[in-house]
């Protein structure tokens, strides 16, 4: 069961710039911040229907409808209001018309979990906000803070049926490449360039490599599917696999392959990276990455 969240930070949004007609690949504007996040309430509206057959309840059918979102923030700047609600903004002035149409947007944030060590990352991918609720009250001898609240309705994208993305950095399969890029963009369909190997230690063809050496591979961009099945170390003579552990740095670009026992002396090894490895936009390696070297 997931750990409850107790915090909220890095509240951001991006405008859906393409028509979600079921055929067009969704694209978004640059991600922008909403400063001073206080709370985010997300309510999934689920319809449940019990199907009866053979004189008994035989199945439960659940349908997720819309997702209601309520954001409470310290302040909602005029430029952010204009973006979220489709108003005109320039020179510090916002102009609102009844004919203004709010665009579809995505919102993202991360929430500190109750262990106070790990975060839950969330994106809601397609929604529309309604005009801001706010209150004003004359000052008295007791301070009463009035914070704006904005409410929205989110639904699934027609293109792929996605409506929400969540990851947690204490999940055993968590990839640092996802967390470190969470607030850079929503989707990046324009990226069709596969990752490439920039450097390796030891370099390909190296000799005299120490028996306690790790293999460190640096890629051109953050990558996914980092595990011992996709990053292998083999004896060149017979293809026998060497037991290794595989780790990834916080940038998602640097992979360290650590043999669990010293390398055999004067033996040629081959490090192989599978084409199952992709970047965060699902572009796979064009071909397996192979680095051969010989131990001392």
Residue range 114-143, pLDDT digits in tens = 888 889 999 999 999 988 755 545 445 544
What pLDDT shows up at residue 146? 58
How far is it, in rounded angstroms, from Cα 180 to Cα 255? 15
Model confidence, pTM: 0.64
Kindly state the DSSP code that residue 252 receives in the 8-state scheme.
S
Q: 191 versus 210: which is more confidently predicted? A: 210
What pLDDT shows up at residue 145? 42
**Residue 154 contacts residue 67 (beta carbons within 8 Å):** yes
Question: What would the mean pLDDT of 209-236 be, rounded to a whole number?
Answer: 94
CB atoms within 10 A of CB 199: 11
What pLDDT shows up at residue 1? 38
**Residue 124 contacts residue 163 (beta carbons within 8 Å):** yes
212 has a pLDDT exceeding 90: yes
Residue range 65-121, pLDDT digits in tens = 578 888 888 878 899 999 999 999 999 999 999 999 999 999 999 988 888 888 999
What pLDDT shows up at residue 149? 84
Confidence of residue 144 (pLDDT cuts 50, 70, 90): very low
| Percentage of the chain exceeding pLDDT 90 | 51
**Residue 126 contacts residue 155 (beta carbons within 8 Å):** yes
CB atoms within 10 A of CB 283: 16
Question: What would the mean pLDDT of 171-178 be, rounded to a whole number?
Answer: 83
Instruction: Compute the CA torsion angle 114, 115, 117, 121 (nearest 10 deg).
Output: -40
272 has a pLDDT exceeding 50: yes
Residue range 223-270, pLDDT digits in tens = 889 999 999 999 999 999 999 999 998 888 999 999 999 999 999 999
How far is it, in rounded angstroms, from Cα 69 to Cα 42? 5
157 has a pLDDT exceeding 50: yes
For the chain, what is the largest distance between any 2 Cα atoms, rounded to a whole number of angstroms?
Answer: 84
């Amino acid at each position: 069961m997931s750990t409850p969240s107790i915090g909220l930070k890095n509240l951001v949004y991006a405008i859906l710039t393409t028509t979600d007609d079921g055929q067009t690949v969704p694209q978004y504007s640059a991600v922008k911040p909403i400063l001073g996040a206080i709370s985010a309430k997300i309510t999934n509206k689920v319809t449940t229907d019990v199907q009866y057959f053979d004189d008994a309840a035989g199945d439960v059918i659940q349908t997720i409808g819309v997702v209601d979102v309520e954001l409470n923030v310290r302040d909602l700047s005029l430029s952010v209001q204009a973006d979220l609600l489709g108003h005109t903004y320039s020179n510090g002035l916002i102009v609102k018309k009844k004919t203004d149409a709010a665009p579809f947007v995505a919102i993202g944030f991360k929430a500190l979990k109750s262990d106070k060590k790990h975060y839950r990352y969330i994106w809601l991918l397609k929604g529309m906000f309604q005009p801001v609720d706010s209150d004003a009250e004359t000052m008295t001898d007791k301070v009463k803070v009035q914070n704006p609240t904005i409410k929205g309705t989110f639904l699934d994208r027609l293109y792929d049926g996605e409506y929400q993305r969540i990851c947690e950095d204490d999940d055993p399969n968590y990839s640092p490449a996802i967390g470190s890029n969470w607030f850079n963009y929503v989707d990046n369909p324009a990226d069709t360039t596969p990752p490439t190997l920039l450097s390796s230690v030891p370099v390909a063809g190296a000799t005299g490599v120490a028996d306690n050496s790790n293999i460190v591979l640096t890629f051109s961009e953050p990558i996914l599917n980092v595990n011992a099945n996709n990053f292998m170390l083999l004896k060149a003579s017979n293809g026998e696999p060497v037991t290794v552990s595989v780790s990834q740095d916080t940038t998602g670009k640097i992979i360290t392959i650590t043999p669990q026992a010293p390398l055999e002396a004067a033996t040629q090894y081959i490090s192989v990276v599978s084409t199952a490895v992709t970047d965060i936009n699902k572009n796979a390696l064009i071909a397996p990455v192979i680095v051969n070297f010989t131990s001392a």
